[in-house]
Chains A and B, each alone.
Chain A
Amino acid sequence: MSHSDTIPLHSSSQSDIDEIENLINASVQSGPATVQPARPPSPPRIPVSSSPFLQSNLPPPSTAAAKLPPLPSSSAPPSVLPATVPAPAAQPPHGNSAGSNNYAASGFGPAPNTLTEPVWDTVKRDLSRIVSNLKLVVFPNPFREDPGKALRDWDLWGPFFFIVFLGLVLSWSASVKKSEVFAVAFALLAAGAVILTLNVLLLGGHIIFFQSLSLLGYCLFPLDVGALICMLKDNVILKIVVVCVTLAWSSWAAYPFMSSAVNPRRKALALYPVFLMYVSVGFLIIAID
């Protein structure tokens, strides 16, 4: 590598490279049995030297921070390294369940043992992501520090689960034509989410297709709760009240995402179909008995 470079290395860079290669050798002897796959290119925030093997074989950040000498002032200090590396989108912030999975939590490279880890760990990771997304979307705290987090960590398991659950609850509540009711509810919700997203895109809005599907699915959660209550207690007045409350809650949860995606002159054009879809689902809940 050094023979093709004509630009001379900084004097302290060479010592960095030596130091880090020593660490690599040390960790290869004592490190994990599996070879880490190369990490996909990371954004240029990470100030490391030009050795390409670096990312995947570094030992846990605390020991690296202790062992590395202070880097030249043009790069960030090593203690910032773990914080600046963005966690891969699949990792929840609190995914430090088992000791051997700490690499995943620290964000250095992809989760090393996703093929060999216990199934419960995989399921727990997905479940915790669903719960955290749910909290961010449906119970938004106006003072939270990172409003865009739910948008970045979107997933489709949560919406899928909520749509199927709503279809099932409606189907259980129906006394005749159960399978048709499920089919209509599922088709309405799935096609509705797709059409709503297309509507925003066609109006010239800026939204990512699957992100929007994910958000609309999560905003269905209040209606799920309402449908469950209506199934358990079959009183028309109660149903109307419950459906109105949960409908308002769902619309309120979906409002910030949809309205910020389009031109303000077309905000009503983008929001009206969302409202229409939730009202029709609410009506279906009331009508099915």
Chain B
Amino acid sequence: VESNLQTFPPSGAQGKISGASRPPRDADDSFSKPVNGTEELQQPGGWLRAFSVASYKPYFDVDTVDVLERIKDSLFPFNGSFNEKTTNNPDLYGPFWICTTLIFVAASIGTFVTYVAHKFENKEWNYDINIVTWSAGLFYGYVTLVPLALYVILKYFSAPSGLVQLFCLYGYSLFIFIPTLCLSIVPLEIFRWIVAGVAGFMSASFVALNLRAHIMSSGERWFLIVAGIFLLQLALSVVLKMYLFTVTF
């Protein structure tokens, strides 16, 4: 009783004194309000949910070992177990950070290659800041727009796949370009073309095989779609090779 008086602010004590005529508060609280689970923040409802951080948390529910395992799967496309692992727990961590790493690696290696080439020819060289912005546009755009288009197409052909699974698939398929770009420092043109071709082929088959497993059961035009996806990925790798490593004077 003494300590109640001594503490400040004594809001609890005053509430109990002045509100003595009301029923105890606990009963009202537990019966009238629904249980809010473990969220301490108020979650917005409806379309505003797209802007709250908490609504994207389920897509980042991966541990380090999970991410490493998925990356390893993407390097060996003919084993084909990627889809089973990610159907129930697709993650957006991998796609986003693989893209970002790719942008950085592409920008730095592209810069380094043009620097070496210019120095070889004794020409003046200036750092081209546009490489960073153009690579960002290319990679983020590819990983965002192509799965979106594919999602719409698959829905049209009644073989729906979750949008996040498609993002996940495309994001991890780009991983193989990172070692490819590192290898492309070697100044042999024919070597670069071979490396780009192999990487493009592996990446494209990764995407195609995983998609084929998904839509072969439900669609009739699956071959066209799969072939289209395959060619698109190959085209990406060709564009990459030409844009970053063609040295223009």
Contact = CB atoms under 8 A, between A and B. Distances in A.
Given A203-B93, A269-B93, A276-B104, A7 B53 contact: no
A280 interface: yes
Interface in A1-17: 4-7, 9-10, 13
Contacts, number: 96
Contact of B64 (A13, A72, A75, A269): A269
B231 to A, nearest CB: 31
A289 B127 contact: yes
Given A44-B8, A175-B126, A203-B93, A7 B57 contact: no
Nearest to A268: B64
Interface string B77-113: 0000000000000000100010011001000100100
Contacts of A13: 5-6
B6 A47 contact: yes
Dominant secondary structure of chain B at its interface with chain A: helix
Interface in B93-141: 93, 97, 100-101, 104, 108, 111, 115, 126-127, 129-130, 132-133
Q: Which of B67, B129, B133 counts the most chain A CB atoms within 10 A?
A: B129
A279 B56 contact: no
A10 B4 CA distance: 11
A197 B7 CA distance: 38
Contact of A48 (B8, B62, B65): B8
A266 B8 contact: no
Contact of A280 (B59, B67, B104): B104
A181 interface: yes
B60 interface: yes
B18 A4 contact: yes
A279 B105 CA distance: 11
B17 interface: yes
Nearest to A10: B2
Contacts of B129: 177, 180-181, 184
Contacts of B132: 184
B48 interface: no
Nearest to A45: B7
B248 interface: no
Top 6 nearest A-B pairs (CB, nearest first) are A202-B60, A265-B63, A268-B64, A44-B7, A75-B6, A287-B127
Interface of A: 4-7, 9-10, 13, 41-42, 44, 46-50, 52, 72, 74-75, 174-177, 180-181, 184, 198-199, 201-204, 263, 265-269, 272-273, 276, 279-280, 283, 287-289
Interface of B: 1-10, 13, 17-18, 53, 56-57, 59-65, 67, 93, 97, 100-101, 104, 108, 111, 115, 126-127, 129-130, 132-133
Given A52-B9, A74-B3, A267-B64, 15 more contacts: A6-B17, A44-B8, A44-B9, A47-B6, A47-B8, A48-B8, A49-B5, A50-B8, A72-B2, A176-B126, A184-B129, A201-B53, A204-B57, A204-B60, A266-B63
